C-alpha cells in the first residue's frame, strides 16, 4: 500500500537514499529542507515523482501549516546539525536548538497534521567512544555520549520517547552508524559538516 512520506533534512545524503528506497516500493515522497537538492536529481529515475518542500524545522507555525496542507502519513525526521569540533564550540546553542528543539517541533507539527507514525533518525554517537568500534557496540549497551552531537541526539531521543505518546504518535528511533553510498556525492552539503558521522 502506497503512503505519503515526508523526510525532514531530505536534501541530505541520508534523505536522498531514503527517498530512493521509498520510491522503489511505490511510496510518495516529499523532501523538506532549508535548501533544495540539485534540481537535476529529480530527473533521475530513482527519484522520479519525489517533491521538494522548502522549510525550517525551527519555524513551528510554518512547519505545522505545511504538514497540515500536504498531510503526510509518515514522517521520517532526518534533519540535524552534525558539527565538527570547531562548530561544536562556536555554534553549540544553535546545534542544540536544531537537534533537540527541532525534533520537538517536528513531533508537534506531525501530530497536529494527523500523522501517526514518526521515525526519528538518531546516531550511534549516543554510545560515545563505544560507537566507534562496531565489534564492541551492543544495541542494548549504555548510552554515554561524549560529544555535543551525541548528547543532543540522545536528548532528542529521550524527550521524543516521553512526548510522542502524549501526542498520539507511534515513534521509532533508529541509531545510524557511519554511512556511505552513491547519493553522498549528490547531496547538498549540510550546514556544518558532511559526511554524516552516524
Q: How confident is the model at residue 55 (pLDDT cuts 50, 70, 90)?
A: very high
- Residue 58 DSSP label: T
Strands (E), 68-179: 74-77, 117-123, 170-176
In angstroms, the CA 113 to CA 13 distance is 26
Residue reference for cell 521524543: 160
Q: What is the pTM of this model?
A: 0.87
Q: Does domain 4-185 have CATH number 3.40.50.720?
A: yes
pLDDT digits (tens, 9 = 90+) for 141-191: 778 888 999 999 999 999 999 999 999 999 999 999 876 666 555 555 554
Amino acid at each position: 500500500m502506497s503512503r505519503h512520506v515526508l523526510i525532514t533534512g531530505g536534501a541530505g545524503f541520508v534523505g536522498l537514499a531514503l527517498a530512493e528506497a521509498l520510491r522503489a516500493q511505490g511510496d510518495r515522497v516529499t523532501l523538506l529542507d532549508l535548501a533544495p537538492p540539485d534540481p537535476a536529481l529529480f530527473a533521475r529515475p530513482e527519484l522520479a515523482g519525489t517533491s521538494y518542500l522548502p522549510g525550517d524545522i525551527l519555524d513551528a507555525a510554518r512547519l505545522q501549516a505545511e504538514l497540515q496542507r500536504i498531510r503526510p502519513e509518515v514522517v521520517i525526521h532526518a534533519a540535524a546539525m552534525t558539527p565538527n569540533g570547531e562548530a561544536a564550540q562556536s555554534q553549540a546553542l544553535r546545534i542544540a536548538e536544531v537537534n533537540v528543539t527541532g525534533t520537538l517541533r517536528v513531533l508537534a507539527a506531525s501530530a497536529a497534521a494527523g500523522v501517526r507514525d514518526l521515525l526519528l533518525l538518531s546516531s550511534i554517537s549516543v554510545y560515545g567512544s563505544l560507537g566507534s568500534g562496531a565489534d564492541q557496540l551492543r544495541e542494548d549497551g549504555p548510552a554515554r555520549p561524549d560529544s555535543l552531537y551525541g548528547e543532543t541526539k540522545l536528548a532528542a531521543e529521550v524527550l521524543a520517547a516521553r512526548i510522542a505518546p502524549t501526542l498520539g504518535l507511534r515513534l521509532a528511533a533508529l541509531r545510524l552508524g557511519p554511512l556511505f553510498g552513491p547519493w553522498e556525492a549528490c547531496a547538498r552539503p549540510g550546514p556544518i559538516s558532511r559526511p554524516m558521522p552516524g
